[in-house]
Amino acid sequence: MNPDYFLFGIGIFWIAFASIQDLRKREVANWLNFSLIFLGLTYRIAYGLYYSNPGYIRAGAASFIMFCAIAYALYYGKAFAGGDAKLLMGVGTLIPGDSLYAVISNGLIFIFVLLIIGALWSIFALFTPLAPLKWKSLKKEINKRKIKYYIYTAFLFALAALGASFVYNNIIYSVVLLIFSIIIGGYPILKAADSGMVIKVRPKDLVEGDWILEDIKIGNKTIKKTVHGLSYSDIKLIRHYGKTINVKAGVPFVPAFMISFIIMVFFWVSGNSLVSSLWALV
């Protein structure tokens, strides 16, 4: 039996649980992310030692390190919250392959798929109760931006997709171009929505990592706005003074992990790596 199948089972179970938690509480517990990292690395080490396959251990370590670097970049770039970044690190231990080339190529393709699925998921979520979006705020933010230029570009990509389907007779080119048209057209809307998703939160409902919009002065102390969000001590101080504050909200992103991971598993179980399967489609 392929050793990666066990990693797939762990990943599907853990990410499904994290998705439910994210949808219900808008956060992913640290114990869930850290246990995924522990299980993924431990399994790779145990398998590599038992079957005298050090390459399996090295590949897992390389994949984990690469995903940690990407997670930190997305976190400090404010693209990912802390829970999403830690989950990405955990997924790094589950990337299939027993060579550096296999895990690096499969890992980069997974990141690419995740970003596309994440963009499409975020656009979809805007039109559901998952997004705490005030439509008046969205309209105001959209009016500030040159949305029409993005829409024109998206329309050109859509026309190119239609042309590719006739010229090349290959649906893959059309699908890829259509996806890019959706992302280009949806990008300014997502940015506008990001600015418009601000909610008032009572002190008892605050959680670590909540992003505040500006520095908050409470008594003789100031809580600074940082990329890390609110700390436990910050929340204690806010609760002590009973101050309701505005925080930046977002849509639950972990379901995009679930969809992307299932896509990776599907290609791998079908008999090919994710990389070769995608090239074969083209």
pLDDT classification of 78: cutoffs 50, 70, 90:
confident
**Most confident option among 8-12, 188-192, 229-233:** 8-12
Q: Is pLDDT at 274 greater than 80 in this prediction?
A: no
Tens of pLDDT along 7-58?
999 999 999 999 999 888 778 888 999 999 999 999 999 999 998 889 999 9
pLDDT of residue 143: 59
pLDDT classification of 282: cutoffs 50, 70, 90:
very low
Tens of pLDDT along 154-164?
666 666 666 66
Q: Identify the H or E element spanning 281.
A: helix 274-281
Residue type, 187: Y
Which pTM value belongs to this model?
0.76
Instruction: Determine the Cα–Cα distance for residues 158 and 182; give it in Å rounded to an integer.
Output: 8
Which range, of 60-69, 175-184, 204-213, 251-260, averages the lowest pLDDT? Answer: 175-184
Instruction: Determine the Cα–Cα distance for residues 116 and 148; give it in Å rounded to an integer.
Output: 22
Q: Which tops the pLDDT comparison, 226 or 121? A: 121
Q: List, in order, residues 6 or more apart from 9 with CB less than 8 Å away.
A: none
Q: Which tops the pLDDT comparison, 164 or 277? A: 164
Q: Is pLDDT at 69 greater than 80 in this prediction?
A: yes
Left (φ > 0), alpha (ψ -120 to 50) or beta: where does 229 sit? left
pLDDT of residue 139: 58
pLDDT of residue 164: 60
Question: Over the chain, what is the mean pLDDT?
Answer: 78
Domains of the chain, by residue range, sit at 4-128+251-281, 135-196, 198-248
Radius of gyration (Cα) for the chain, nearest Å? 21
Instruction: Determine the Cα–Cα distance for residues 198 and 191; give it in Å rounded to an integer.
Output: 13
Which range, of 71-80, 215-224, 273-282, averages the lowest pLDDT? Answer: 273-282
Which range, of 103-107, 163-167, 226-230, averages the lowest pLDDT? Answer: 163-167
SS3 37: helix
| Residue carrying structure tokens 């590949």 | 59
Give 161-226 as a DSSP string: HHHHHHHT--HHHHHHHHHHHHHHHHHHHHHHHHHH-EEEE-GGG--TTPEESS-EEETTEEEPP-
pLDDT of residue 183: 63
pLDDT of residue 244: 79
pLDDT of residue 221: 80
